[in-house]
Structure 1
């Protein structure tokens, strides 16, 4: 019989993705001994199968699209992308799916890394194989999410792509069917269509990017269609089979579609099914509800940070939460009270309530922060939507000939602040932080009039939006 090894730490973190790493960084900076447990690659989903590889695939696609909109440069970028070179660069950004550099970073902050499946075995106790880790102050669940797959008979035998296969594939399939209309679906449809695949996008709902303003999905769908993709809304999948390498999809209306690969991008599920939640009275496979210090409801020692708490499934929001959780754990360990009433408190996460920023790296890009017009109305705010065609902005015309885009700000008419902002168009991802500052800071509309945008930049859209609000 193998003897069990027990180790005592102040904090034990389950998951070594960007979120878990940030928790460990903060607790170590506070002088707390910290163990990090990882069952796969240190660096997590973002580094190897999500943020980094997807943006490495998309950057050449977007750069070529922008170049094609400029006379004098358009002719220089005619022809297909060098798919092999794009994939090689993507591989470099993932470290060829090795995590040596990330492991070195964990060591550099003075945290201990344990490889293997970490499972709770009771309050403040985690097992990793034959080792038992006991936490004096906190156990932090930062295990993230996995792709959710629909309950279609025989789907496992089809070997469908999820976001992992879509971002790590070493060749472009000739025909790719993408099921879904959200961020992963639209970004991967954009990337693989440009890299040589014939893409068919099947969307059950009425349009794409349904969590943004409706015009965002409309403009992205229009651009995908112009690029050669077949975008079909109101289309469900009834069955999927694979025979001799060919995937056969039958839609809800009985239509038959053949493909070389099929990607399901229909949602995410929490990676909490095999971490021992049942030993502490929680439901395995569930999302974990937390307060604003990221502490799990009903447990004064258990924290859930990042995707697993379902507050905002975005890496930057998870890292933000990790900084808050690390500070809260350190404060409680030192016996320092948390002042939750203070909006500037380092111990309180508020940015993921009504002011979450996001960029969708399609062509055109879609970027938003805060509430959409429909969400603001549903929340009971008296609001007005102010829209501007971004082609009216001089900087947009200089950025790209025939620039096509749209901007909206959602104005709270009682408080005269912004509840939300959305931009769609080439290059708008770099605009969203200015909108985030305005929304989070609750900057009065009248003050924004004196935040003068530089000329001639796309940021001048702010002036057009404010003029539209003033004049109508």
Structure 2
């Protein structure tokens, strides 16, 4: 793709133009191309996006050996075989393989196999239905892409750093550096108490770092049920990490390679690296939102078909709409948005009612998440506090997972807990949270129950296999019945 010799950049018309080639943008393109719409995808970095190279895949590749070893240590007859430290070099090499060494050739082949046209470069809106691409590589120049039906913004989010003087000179880690480091720092300070903070603290502590976690609030994982953060904190502490709650960073400097952290309480902590896992910001600051009347750098408000408020041609899918900053939820939104774009392009009515084909209803009712620490924490739907704030009349039902036969077989001394939140008026589940080894594989059954609003009376007839950890469903239902 080369620029013409004229003074005006070359212009090409498509049915759909997608900004961003991460999992969300790829899925929008896949759905529109499958329906026969011509589609262009613009990407300024690697095709495959944050998830493939700096988030989901590398972080879980780092954590899998950590969790597998922890599980093995709890099984007599196997535990003696896994004594000693992890082979950090081998773990990092395996991580590198899951990122394809940060090369996107395979992802490019997949995207081009859908029939979409890929433009590498910086894409910006330059008016309604118009994207101008500053092309990188040998082609260079600029290309103007116009969209007959839709532009989909799928540019994701980036790590948000605090406003601390001189932070750039410190060269702090964000989630990208934490998942991509090629060696374990001797001492690592992690600032934050959410998913990235807990997962990376778990991974690097096991890989040889001495980890200190600084949490501004009073607990870890404060968007889940309180016991989730408590149990993860207990396990991290037992593994050797130090966790300090109610602590903020007042200043940070780097002197002779050493990071010096001063807390709001006046304490000084030395480290080799510092990771700030203090939230996310939308990647919308330099995509030309001002040319269509929107605020640069803002989260984009959308309806349930993922169409941006006040713009009948513009869609915001995935992290940029701030509904649920999770890859699986963004891909779900992409399927909804792609179907809505195709339907509107055909001039057919959109099914935007609750649970309709073009409504991302699950964003409101049944968002699942797994934190891949040891122990794992998994949840879907509303916590007890969230359900009460929403005005539902609910009851929490708690079960100790050690009472489940399958948990005892899974590991000696199994520690875990489950809570289901029951709507007492509708007799359905509003949410479920599980903490314990291996519980991440159980959360989809709960997601089905919450999303489908399965009545409690009917769940009695969904018989869990014995002896598996999924028998927790029976224990929960029994506890609800007998209360």
- Please give the TM-score of this superposition, normalised by the length of structure 2: 0.97
1:329 match: 341
1:213 Cα deviation after fit? 0.1
Match of 1:157 among 155, 162, 169: 169
1:7 match: 12
2:274 match: 262
1:88 match: 93
1:317 match: 329
1:420 and 2:425 matched: no
Q: For each residue in 1:227-269, what CA deviation from the matched residue of structure 2 results, as whole angstroms up to 9, or x when unmatched?
A: 0000111111000000000000000000000000000000000
Match of 1:274 among 273, 286, 298: 286
1:370 and 2:381 matched: yes
CA separation in 2, counterparts of 1:295 and 1:63?
42
SS of 1:443's partner is coil
1:221 and 2:233 matched: yes
1:105 and 2:117 matched: no
CA separation in 1, counterparts of 2:338 and 2:31?
5
Match of 2:156 among 144, 149, 161: 144
CA separation in 2, counterparts of 1:446 and 1:87?
48
Q: For each residue in 1:37-82, what CA deviation from the matched residue of structure 2 results, as whole angstroms up to 9, or x when unmatched?
A: 0000000000000000000000000000000000111100000000
1:117 match: 122
1:139-218, aligned counterparts within 5 Å? 139-218=151-230
- RMSD value, Cα: 0.7
CA separation in 2, counterparts of 1:218 and 1:257?
24
- Please give the TM-score of this superposition, normalised by the length of structure 1: 0.99
SS of 1:220's partner is helix
CA separation in 2, counterparts of 1:400 and 1:136?
57
Match of 2:25 among 20, 27, 36: 20
2:143 match: 131
CA separation in 2, counterparts of 1:444 and 1:100?
47
CA separation in 1, counterparts of 2:307 and 2:460?
40
Match of 2:359 among 328, 348, 353: 348
1:466 and 2:477 matched: yes
CA separation in 1, counterparts of 2:470 and 2:355?
28
SS of 2:378's partner is strand
Match of 1:454 among 426, 445, 465: 465
2:351 touches 2:357 (CA, 8 Å); kept in 1?
A: no
SS of 1:206's partner is coil
In the alignment, structure 1 segments of 5+ residues that lack a partner are none
Q: For each residue in 1:248-297, what CA deviation from the matched residue of structure 2 results, as whole angstroms up to 9, or x when unmatched?
A: 00000000000000000000000000000000000000000000000000
In the alignment, structure 2 segments of 5+ residues that lack a partner are 1-5, 135-141
Structure 1: 4+ residue segments shifted above 4 A: none
1:3 Cα deviation after fit? 4.1
1:74 match: 79
2:355 touches 2:361 (CA, 8 Å); kept in 1?
A: no
1:390 and 2:395 matched: no
Match of 1:308 among 320, 324, 330: 320
Number of aligned residue pairs = 471
1:106 Cα deviation after fit? 1.1
2:36 match: 31
CA separation in 2, counterparts of 1:180 and 1:239?
15
1:150 Cα deviation after fit? 0.2
Q: For each residue in 1:383-434, what CA deviation from the matched residue of structure 2 results, as whole angstroms up to 9, or x when unmatched?
A: 0000000000000000000000000000000110000000000000000000
Q: For each residue in 1:286-313, what CA deviation from the matched residue of structure 2 results, as whole angstroms up to 9, or x when unmatched?
A: 0000000000000000000000000000
1:53 and 2:25 matched: no
2:366 touches 2:447 (CA, 8 Å); kept in 1?
A: yes
SS of 2:126's partner is strand
